[in-house]
Chain A
Amino acid sequence: MPTYYPQIYGGVITQRPYVAALEYLTSVAQQASGPRYGYAWRDEPLGRWELRYAALREADVQALETFFAQMEGRLGEFTYLDPGGNLVRYSEDFSHSSWERYTVTTGGATTDPFGGNRAMRCTGTSGNSMLATYVLPEGGASGFTICGSVWVRAQAAQQLAIGFIDSGFNVVSHRTWELPAGRWVRIWCPVALATNSNIRLLIGGFGTWGAVTLDLFGAQCAPTPGPGGYQRTPGNYGLHAKCRFDQDQLEIEYAGPNAASAVVRIVEYR
C-alpha cells in the first residue's frame, strides 16, 4: 500500500504559489566545426516540486513534521499526488484501454469548450451507460480528499451522474447534474475517502446515461477539494509513485501562534 504525501486542512496538499516542473536530461556536445550531438538520458521527464506553505496552523505543522520524520528527510520514498496534475491517465481519449466502457461507443473528435477540437463524441447504447477509469490504482488513500470532473455537452436536456467506485464497484460517492441542451457544463464530485480500496472515476450510471450521444472533454481527478484548473493527460499525470524529499532539513518559520510557513521540496526518481 503506498505511502502518500499528506494533505493538510480540508484536503489541501500545497498553497500558492505552487511550483511544479517536469525535467528532461540531455547531454549536448557542440563541435567547434558546427555539428551538435545530443543524447537524451530520459525518455520520460521526472517531476520536481516546490511547496510553499504561507499559512500553516499548528496541526498542519505537526502533520508535516511527522511525515518528514517518518521519511527521515531524503531517505524515505513516498507517492506524491500532484495537485497540479491529473489522476486520470487519458483525459481526452475515452477510447483508450485505460477507460472501461459499459455500453458506450466512442466516436470522433468534436469541438471542445475551449475552442479547440479535442472533445470526443460518446454514445450510450443502453439505459445505463457509463465510463470508468482508475484514478488511485493502488488505493490506500483513506482520509484523502479527491475531486473528479469532466466537461459534458448533451444534445437535449438530461441528467448525468459523476462519482467514484471502489474495486468491488461499490459507489463511494456521486453527484447527479442537470445538463442543458447544447452547452458545455463541467460536472464534478468531491469525496473524502473512507476506504483503502483502489478508486475509479465514474461518469454516467445511476440510469442517467441512456441511449444518447454526449460530447465529453477533459476528464480530471485532482487531490483537491474542488476540480481545479484543467490538466491534460498523458503529459501531466498526477500520480508519482517514486518520490522523496529533496532536503534533509525541514525549517518552520513562526510568525505567531498558528501562523507558520515552510518550504518543502520534492523530487521524483526512477
Chain B
Amino acid sequence: MPSFPEIRSGSAALYPMRRARIHGTAVIRFVDDTEQRWRSSPPMMQFVLEYRDINGYDLSRLLEFFRTVKGRFDTTWDITVGGVTYHHMMFDGDAFEVVESKPDRYTVRLTCRQWRRE
C-alpha cells in the first residue's frame, strides 16, 4: 500500500492545509414536512494540501507519488497527517498542476479524500 511522501520538512502536509470530515446522510422530506433520514456512508476525511513555494526536489517527490497512483485511479494509499494515518485515500482529480511563480519555487494544490473506511 503506497504512502503519501514526506517532503523535506519531514511532514506530508504544509500550512495552509484544510481537513474536512464528511458525513453521508440521505434526507427525504415529505409533503407533511416529516423526514426520513439514513446514513448513506460512514464519515470520511478530505484534505486540501497546498504546497507553496516548494523547490524542485520536493516537487519531484509529490509528482512521483502522483504518477505512482495515476491520479485518481489508485485508491489504496494512505497519508499520515498530525500523527494519524488515514487509509483508502484517493485524489479528487487526474491533473497535477504546478505554478512556477519564482525561480525554483513551485506551488501545487492537491485534493484527496477517503473513499471508504477500514
Chain A residues proximal to chain B, CB less than 8 Å: 16-26, 28, 30, 34, 36, 38-40, 42-43, 45, 48, 84, 114-116, 228-232, 235-236
**Given A229-B100, A230-B104; A24-B70 close (CB under 8 Å):** yes
Q: Which of A17, A23, A228 contacts B94 (CB 8 A)?
A: A23
The minimal Cβ–Cβ distance linking A170 to chain B, given in whole angstroms, is 31
A38 vs B64: C-alpha distance in the bound complex, in angstroms? 21
Say what secondary structure dominates the interface of chain B. Answer: mixed
B72 touches A36 (CB 8 A): no
B40 nearest in chain A by CB position:
A32
A23 vs B70: C-alpha distance in the bound complex, in angstroms? 9
A225 vs B12: C-alpha distance in the bound complex, in angstroms? 33
**Given A26-B73, A114-B57; A21-B95 close (CB under 8 Å):** yes
A42 vs B105: C-alpha distance in the bound complex, in angstroms? 29
A19 touches B98 (CB 8 A): yes
Q: Which of B55, B63, B64, B101 contacts A17 (CB 8 A)?
A: B101
The minimal Cβ–Cβ distance linking B12 to chain A, given in whole angstroms, is 16
**How many cross-chain pairs have Cβ atoms below 8 Å apart between A and B?**
98
17 contacts between A and B (CB under 8 A): A17-B100, A21-B95, A21-B97, A23-B94, A23-B95, A25-B71, A38-B75, A40-B70, A42-B70, A45-B70, A114-B55, A115-B8, A229-B104, A230-B56, A230-B57, A231-B60, A235-B60
| B79-111 at interface with A (beta carbon < 8 Å) | 94-106
Beyond A28-B72, A36-B115, list 15 extra A-B contacts (CB 8 Å): A16-B101, A19-B98, A22-B66, A24-B70, A38-B73, A38-B75, A39-B73, A40-B71, A84-B100, A116-B57, A229-B59, A230-B60, A235-B60, A235-B63, A236-B63
Q: Which of B55, B56, B96, B106 contacts A23 (CB 8 A)?
A: B96
Cβ of B18 under 8 Å from chain A: no
Q: Which of B64, B66, B72, B105 contacts A229 (CB 8 A)?
A: B105
B102 touches A16 (CB 8 A): yes
A17 touches B99 (CB 8 A): yes
B58 nearest in chain A by CB position:
A114
Chain B residues proximal to chain A, CB less than 8 Å: 8, 55-57, 59-60, 63-64, 66-67, 70-73, 75, 94-106, 115-116
Q: Which of A16, A22, A114, A229 contacts B63 (CB 8 A)?
A: A22
A18 vs B104: C-alpha distance in the bound complex, in angstroms? 12
Say what secondary structure dominates the interface of chain A. Answer: loop
A19 touches B97 (CB 8 A): yes
The minimal Cβ–Cβ distance linking B55 to chain A, given in whole angstroms, is 6
A19 nearest in chain B by CB position:
B99
The minimal Cβ–Cβ distance linking A193 to chain B, given in whole angstroms, is 23
**Chain A residues in 8 Å Cβ range of B99:** 17-19
**Chain A residues in 8 Å Cβ range of B67:** 22, 45, 235
B103 nearest in chain A by CB position:
A229
A83 nearest in chain B by CB position:
B100
Q: Which 9 A-B pairs have the closest CB atoms?
A: A229-B104, A24-B71, A232-B60, A229-B56, A230-B56, A21-B97, A24-B94, A40-B73, A23-B95
A21 vs B57: C-alpha distance in the bound complex, in angstroms? 17
**Chain A residues in 8 Å Cβ range of B72:** 24, 26, 28, 38
A34 vs B94: C-alpha distance in the bound complex, in angstroms? 22
**Chain A residues in 8 Å Cβ range of B57:** 114, 116, 230, 232
A232 vs B99: C-alpha distance in the bound complex, in angstroms? 16
A45 touches B96 (CB 8 A): yes
